[in-house]
Amino acid sequence: MLDKPYVVIEWNDTETDAKGWLCGYNFVNNYCGGGTRMHPSVTKEEVIRLAHTMAYKYTACESDTTGGCKGGIAYDYKASDAKDVLKRYLMAMSPYIKAGVSIGGDLGVDYGDVLEILDELGIGLPQTKAMKADSKIQEGIKNHDEMMGMTYDGFKLYDMITGYGTAYSADEAWKLMDGKKGATVVIQGFGCVGASAAKCMDKLGYKVVGISDANCLVTCENGLDIDELIKHKTSKGEMDSKFFKDDYVVRPNTKWIDVDCDIFIPAALEDVIHKNNANNVKASLICEGANIAVTKEGDDILKERRIAVVPDFVANLGAIRFYDAIIFGYIPKDVVAAVDDVEQLCRKNTRKVFKIAKEEGRYQRDVAMEIFAPSIAGIPDIY
């Protein structure tokens, strides 16, 4: 088990008050991968925790090609110059990107913008020297680029695959818990992960009774019209109140904790469940669409209360599994094959964790941390 990051780099913008960090937690075959997030609340400690989660996530992805990393920028992603800040951050991190650190998009950062900037900088899709010499991987990169523009259920493929994987994990866990049909769901966050998870849960027969975004919480006992909310969702992952129905109740966005539900899916910021609110969680299952959604103190309370949890690195691995599977040629260039691959892996890992937890009377996160612990510590690509 690896208990500390390999490398952490700090960046200070010269034109704004933005700060940023890059953490390469571990390298596998001289390569590591993870997203970059932008939010005023981002900290160095958060980026390290996220990179640690990515290392676990790649193990859960059954990857023998990639370790975990994460990037973070403390800045307002809604600011008019946010993309310029992102570009300067990527310029600063370019030596590490060229050495095998593959960073993409995350909260507040569009993956398409990252790729566009890396193309402008002459870097292109991050890869090692060995990858550049491998014709199969080069074909996989072409397939990846083509699939970036493909859609599924009305979403761009990259925008839906993590949320759908989260929903499949939640569905699998709920069935293993012998949960009732038509169970109620509350989702915190309505960006790519939250919106697509809501869509998939709705398709699977669940009743989404509450969604919160950056502005508000909207609830409906009879279930929200997910398709209508997604249709009018803003580019910043916010619902448009002009399209709320008469039976919708609007409250402050922090009040999701007060909504009765069977399943809660955090799908935005970190640490939304903590020591001050974990005792008030109504759900009997939490499926983490967001990374590090629960603090250590909050997790201790959930464990004591016997609330079941599908950990982040099990539930929300969709995007990185898709990247690995296409780039390294595990699956064909086919949208349905990509979604099916993520569904099968999320369900398999969830079954494995919940089966052991039930047999041994243990907490699901403790089991998952044990069986998916990263063990490979390589070095960057030096050439």
pLDDT at 376: 85
pLDDT of residue 264: 98
Average of per-residue pLDDT across 98-126 = 92
Residue 245: its pLDDT value, please?
A: 94
Q: Both tokens of residue 220?
A: 């409906």
* 18 contacts 3 by C-beta, under 8 angstroms: no
The pLDDT tens digits of the residues spanning 228-249 come to: 999 999 877 899 999 999 999 9
User: Residue 217: which of 244, 243, 242, 249 has the closest Cα?
Assistant: 249
Which one from 4, 44, 57, 70 is the annotated catalytic residue? 70
pLDDT of residue 269: 85
Task: Please state the rounded mean pLDDT for residues 367-380.
Answer: 94
Please determine, for residue 200, whether its predicted confidence score (pLDDT) is greater than 70: yes
pLDDT tens track for 209-224: 999 999 999 999 999 9
Interatomic CA distance for residues 63 and 43, integer angstroms:
28
Q: What is the pLDDT of residues 3-41, one digit of tens each?
A: 899 999 999 999 999 999 999 999 999 999 999 999 999
What does pLDDT average to over the chain?
Answer: 95
Could you tell me the pTM of the whole model? 0.92
- Look at residue 43 in the predicted model and tell me its pLDDT: 96
245-255 burial: b if 16+ Cβ within 10 Å, else e? eeebeeeebee
- Asked if residue 355 has pLDDT above 90, the reply is yes
Q: What percent of the chain has pLDDT over 70?
A: 99
Spatial contact of 46 and 55, defined as CB atoms under 8 Å apart: no
Which CATH number is associated with domain 155-361?
A: 3.40.50.720
* CA-only gyration radius of the chain, Å: 20
Q: What are phi and psi of 193, to 5 degrees?
A: -70, -50
Over residues 275-313, the pLDDT tens digits come to 999 999 999 999 999 999 999 999 999 999 999 999 999
Please calculate the CA angle 25-300-371 and round it to the nearest 5 degrees: 45
At position 359, the amino acid (one-letter code) is E
d(CA 173, CA 2): 28
CATH 3.40.50.10860 residue ranges in the chain?
Answer: 7-133
Percent share of the chain, pLDDT over 90: 92
Does the pLDDT at position 197 exceed 90? yes
CA dihedral 189, 194, 199, 200 (to 10 degrees): -140
Residue type, 291: N
- Maximum distance among all Cα pairs of the chain, rounded to whole angstroms: 62
Fold category of 7-133 in CATH = Rossmann fold (3.40.50)
Q: What is the pLDDT at residue 234?
A: 86
Q: Minimal CA–CA distance to 266: which of 207, 297, 309?
A: 309
Q: Residue 370: in which H helix or E strand, if any?
A: helix 364-371
Structure tokens at 33: 């991968």
Give the residue-averaged pLDDT of 81-108: 95
pLDDT tens for each residue of 249-277: 999 999 999 999 999 999 998 899 999 99
In this predicted structure, the answer to whether residue 361 has a pLDDT above a threshold of 80 is yes
Provide the token pair at 197: 């998870």
Q: How far apart are CA 29 and CA 148, in angstroms?
A: 25
Name residue 185's amino acid: V
Active site residue 156: no
Pinpoint the residues of the chain covered by CATH 3.40.50.720.
155-361
The whole-number pLDDT of residue 1 equals: 65
